[in-house]
Amino acid sequence: MQPDLELVHIRKGESFAAWMHGYPFRTVRWHYHPEYEIHLIAATSGKFYIGDFIGDFEPGQLIMTGPNLPQNWISDVQSDEIVPARSLVIQFAENFIEDACATMPEMDVIRPLLDRSHRGLLFDDGTSAAVRPLMEQLIEARGLKRLSLFWQVLDTLAQAPEPEVLASLSYELDLSDIDASGVNRAIAYLREHLTEPVGEGELADIVGQSASAFSRAFKRHTGTTLVRYKNQLRIDLACQLLLDSEEIKVAEICYEVGFSNLSNFNRHFLKLKGMSPSQFRTTFAANGALAMAD
């Protein structure tokens, strides 16, 4: 089964993404992305998949993956159970870290870490315990403090006892087949233009299909229409921004994620999340703080 491309949003004015998500969540599927990822399980147990590796996870598991390495974590919970804070995540682009390595000689110490992460790295409990408070602070931090914590996380991982390498030496994702998939090419384009008014006809032209053929293929692949899929992605992005900072006004987030008016944004948010954006911010933040304390 070919993995889906995940859209990783790195906000303007920031070098990397750092966030927390619950369960269920849109990224809980067999997926890949071009960014490096540091993933720490805060709650639940279950089964995880990294490349051709399959294993069991529990709270405290810390894994780093390199670009385009397929992955998934499936929690063993009741079908109607909602976990407010399951995973702490840091994601950063390859060009960002390569540019840093090229300009700062001190960065050479993390080069082996970056190289080995292409097969997925599982760290020991001691490293996880050291990294978790740094990631928790990082999610809330701003400015230079944010950068300082990011480098501390990488330095801790680079100095950790030998991590377990997960995917086999022979495993390699065949991106040629994925890139040839019309829907994944369309999703890749959406990745770069999520907040712009991209229509079905434009995407159909990009992948060389008729509008009707693309529409059918897109619905088979995603289980929904392009309009609903795009609105879902934008609302998911809005949720991330709502939790990033209480200082960002709801109206600012509305326009930043691509909605043209506040009433339309509020209507879609209520439909998809069952509450208003302000209620989501208050409720989820309270639940998340409680879960983190547990």
Q: In the prediction, which pLDDT does 219 show?
A: 78
- 29/224 Cα distance (integer angstroms): 16
Q: Indicate the residue type of 225.
A: T
pLDDT at 154 over 90: yes
Q: In the prediction, which pLDDT does 67 show?
A: 93
Give the pair of three-digit tokens for residue 113.
């870490």
Q: In the prediction, which pLDDT does 178 show?
A: 54
Strand partners, 17: 91
Angle between helices 262-273 and 277-293 (to 10 degrees): 40
Structural domains present in the chain: 4-165 (2.60.120.10), 175-289 (1.10.10.60)
Each residue's pLDDT tens digit, 102-124: 999 999 899 999 999 999 999 99
CB 233 within 8 A of CB 196: no
Over residues 57-63, mean pLDDT: 98
Q: In the prediction, which pLDDT does 87 show?
A: 95
User: How many percent of the chain have pLDDT more than 70?
Assistant: 90
User: Which one has a higher pLDDT value, 187 or 61?
Assistant: 61
Model-level pTM greater than 0.75? Answer: no
Count other C-beta atoms under 10 Å from residue 256's C-beta.
16
Strand partners, 63: 39, 122
Which of 136-145, 183-192, 230-239 holds the top average pLDDT? 136-145
Q: In the prediction, which pLDDT does 247 show?
A: 76
pLDDT bin (cut points 50, 70, 90) of residue 1 is low
The per-residue pLDDT of the chain, averaged, comes to 86
User: How many percent of the chain have pLDDT more than 90?
Assistant: 48
pLDDT bin (cut points 50, 70, 90) of residue 290 is very low
